[in-house]
Amino acid sequence: MDVISVIRTKRDKGELSPEQIDWVIDAYTRGVVADEQMSALAMAILLNGMNRAEIARWTAAMIASGERMNFDALSRPTADKHSTGGVGDKITLPLAPLVAACGAAVPQLSGRGLGHTGGTLDKLESIPGWRALLSNDEMLHVLDTTGAVICAAGDGLAPADKKLYALRDVTGTVEAIPLIASSIMSKKIAEGTGSLVLDVKVGTGAFMKTIEDARELASTMVQLGTDSGVKTVALLTDMSTPLGLTAGNALEVRESVEVLAGGGPADVVELTIALAREMLDAAGIKDADPAKALADGSAMDHWRRMIAAQGGDPDATLPVAREQHVVTAQASGVLTRLDAYDIGVAAWRLGAGRARKEDPVQAGAGVELHAKPGDTVTAGQPLLTLHTDTPEKFDYALKSLNDSWDIAPAGTAFTANPIVMDRIA
pLDDT in tens, 241-270: 999 999 999 999 999 999 999 999 999 999
Mark whether 305 and 359 lie in a shared domain.
Answer: no
d(CA 368, CA 371): 9
Mark whether 241 and 288 lie in a shared domain.
Answer: yes
pLDDT in tens, 50-72: 999 999 999 999 999 999 998 98
* Three-class SS state of 188: helix
Main-chain dihedrals φ then ψ at residue 324, nearest 5 degrees? -135, 150
d(CA 192, CA 259): 29
**pLDDT over 70 at 357, yes or no:** no
Mark whether 38 and 110 lie in a shared domain.
Answer: no
Q: Is residue 224 part of a domain?
A: yes
Picking from 113-117, 137-141, 154-158, 183-187, which range would have the lowest pLDDT averaged per residue?
Answer: 113-117
Strand-pairing partners, residue 328, are 382
d(CA 59, CA 182): 5
CATH number at residue 29: 1.20.970.10
pLDDT in tens, 292-329: 999 999 999 999 999 999 999 999 999 999 999 999 99
Mark whether 232 and 332 lie in a shared domain.
Answer: no
CATH number at residue 259: 3.40.1030.10
Mark whether 304 and 338 lie in a shared domain.
Answer: no
Q: Is residue 350 part of a domain?
A: yes
d(CA 299, CA 262): 10
Q: Is residue 22 part of a domain?
A: yes
Q: Is residue 250 part of a domain?
A: yes
Mark whether 330 and 283 lie in a shared domain.
Answer: no
pLDDT at position 154 is: 80
d(CA 220, CA 318): 39
The residues annotated with a catalytic role in the active site are 82, 161, 168, 183, 187
Q: Is residue 422 part of a domain?
A: no
As for how many domains the chain has, the answer is 3
Helix axis angle, 35-48 to 3-11, nearest 10°: 20
**pLDDT over 90 at 343, yes or no:** yes
Strand-pairing partners, residue 369, are 384
DSSP secondary structure letters along 34-51: -HHHHHHHHHHHHHH---
Average pLDDT over residues 280-291: 96
Q: Is residue 317 part of a domain?
A: no
Mark whether 88 and 199 lie in a shared domain.
Answer: yes
**pLDDT over 70 at 201, yes or no:** yes
Average pLDDT over residues 7-32: 97
Main-chain dihedrals φ then ψ at residue 404, nearest 5 degrees? -105, -5
Mark whether 200 and 268 lie in a shared domain.
Answer: yes
CATH number at residue 347: 3.90.1170.30
Mark whether 103 and 28 lie in a shared domain.
Answer: no
Mark whether 305 and 327 lie in a shared domain.
Answer: no
Mark whether 201 and 302 lie in a shared domain.
Answer: yes
pLDDT in tens, 84-105: 989 999 999 999 999 999 999 9
Residues 6+ apart with CB under 8 A from 323: 387, 388, 389, 390, 391, 394
Q: Is residue 56 part of a domain?
A: no
Angle at 22 between CA 16 and CA 27, to 5 degrees: 110
Distances 289 to 98, 103, 232 between C-alpha atoms, Å = 10, 10, 21
Mark whether 158 and 300 lie in a shared domain.
Answer: yes
Q: Is 402 exposed, middle or buried (0-12, 13-18, 19+ CB in 10 A)?
A: exposed
Q: Is residue 425 part of a domain?
A: no
State the residue range of the domain holding 347.
323-408
